[in-house]
């Protein structure tokens, strides 16, 4: 069976590393982000098959994106939700619009992509989904209450969805990274934080990609959260 994967947030960072690794493993990959030029540049660089623009927070955008993938490369049987934003701020200083925007992208957007992808996967009686959560959702972190809620919400969503679709031979899992070198973490002062990580370093996007690819290719893991954080969770 041809392996066709939609990677939302595939234009840079973790999503791009996932897309690259999947291409190397003979998946046909659609790279998706809001910025089409960046999605196209990433697709060209990694040898992907299709670049599309989509705002994951807009359901019609998501539906249209899947139609384009089916038309151009075929039915999606693998989905990776790596699109996400993180805007730090104390809750008392966070506006309602900002709360809704983060939840719409990080949590509800993944619900939209899963819902549309599942229609095709159910027909094929096969599929695998990996949603990218965060160890911050599990541990909590001051200044990240909204982000944490969006990411731990994704865990509850994924575990329940895994139970809903297991009988259709579809797996749903979460990869929860710690601190990973990407644009998202570029403004973080690394030196002192590194001391709190048992493995003593930030992770690389490829460290996360390896975990995602492992879950996509597994046949008997579902409803699982795979933590990729250099041991950070041990520091609770």
Question: In terms of DSSP bridges, do strands 127-132 and 170-177 run parallel, antiparallel, or are they unpaired?
Answer: parallel
Angle at 147 between CA 104 and CA 56, to 5 degrees: 25
Ramachandran category for residue 174: left, alpha or beta (phi over 0 → left; psi -120 to 50 → alpha): beta
User: Is residue 105 a contact point for ligand NAP (CB under 6 A)?
Assistant: yes
What string of DSSP letters covers 133-154? --HHHHH--TT-HHHHHHHHHH
Q: What's the CA gap between 112 and 127, in Å, rounded?
A: 16
Answer for which of 43, 177, 197, 212 binds ligand NAP (CB under 6 A) is 177
Answer for which of 63, 94, 169, 185 binds ligand NAP (CB under 6 A) is 185
User: Is residue 226 a contact point for ligand NAP (CB under 6 A)?
Assistant: no
The DSSP H or E segment spanning 3 is none
Least distance from C-beta 52 to ligand NAP, angstroms?
A: 10
Least distance from C-beta 168 to ligand NAP, angstroms?
A: 26
Answer for which of 99, 103, 184, 221 binds ligand NAP (CB under 6 A) is 184
Least distance from C-beta 89 to ligand NAP, angstroms?
A: 15
Ramachandran category for residue 108: left, alpha or beta (phi over 0 → left; psi -120 to 50 → alpha): alpha
Answer for which of 85, 99, 193, 221 binds ligand NAP (CB under 6 A) is 85
Chain residues binding ligand NAP by CB under 6 A are: 8-9, 11-15, 33-35, 38, 54-57, 82-86, 105, 132, 134, 177, 179-180, 182-185
């Amino acid at each position: 069976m041809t392996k066709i994967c939609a990677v939302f947030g595939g234009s840079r960072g973790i999503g791009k590393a996932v897309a690259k690794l999947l291409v190397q493993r003979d998946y046909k990959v659609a790279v998706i982000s809001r910025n089409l030029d960046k999605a196209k540049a990433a697709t060209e660089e990694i040898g992907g098959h299709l670049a599309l623009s989509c705002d994951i927070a807009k359901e019609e955008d998501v539906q249209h994106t899947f139609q384009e993938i089916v038309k151009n490369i075929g039915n999606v049987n693998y989905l990776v939700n790596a699109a996400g934003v993180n805007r730090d701020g104390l809750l008392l200083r966070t506006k309602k619009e900002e709360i809704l925007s983060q939840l719409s992208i990080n949590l509800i957007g993944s619900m939209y992509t899963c819902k549309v992808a599942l229609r095709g996967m159910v027909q094929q009686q096969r599929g695998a989904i990996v949603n990218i959560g965060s160890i911050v959702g599990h541990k909590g972190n001051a200044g990240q209450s909204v982000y944490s809620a969006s990411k731990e919400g994704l865990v509850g969503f994924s575990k329940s969805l895994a139970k809903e679709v297991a009988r259709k031979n579809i797996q749903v899992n979460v990869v929860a990274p710690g601190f990973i070198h990407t644009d998202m973490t570029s403004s973080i002062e690394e030196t002192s934080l590194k001391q709190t990580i048992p493995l003593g370093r930030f992770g690389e996007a490829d460290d996360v990609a390896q975990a995602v690819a492992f879950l996509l290719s597994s046949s008997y893991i579902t409803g699982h959260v795979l933590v990729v954080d250099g041991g950070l969770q041990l520091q609770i």
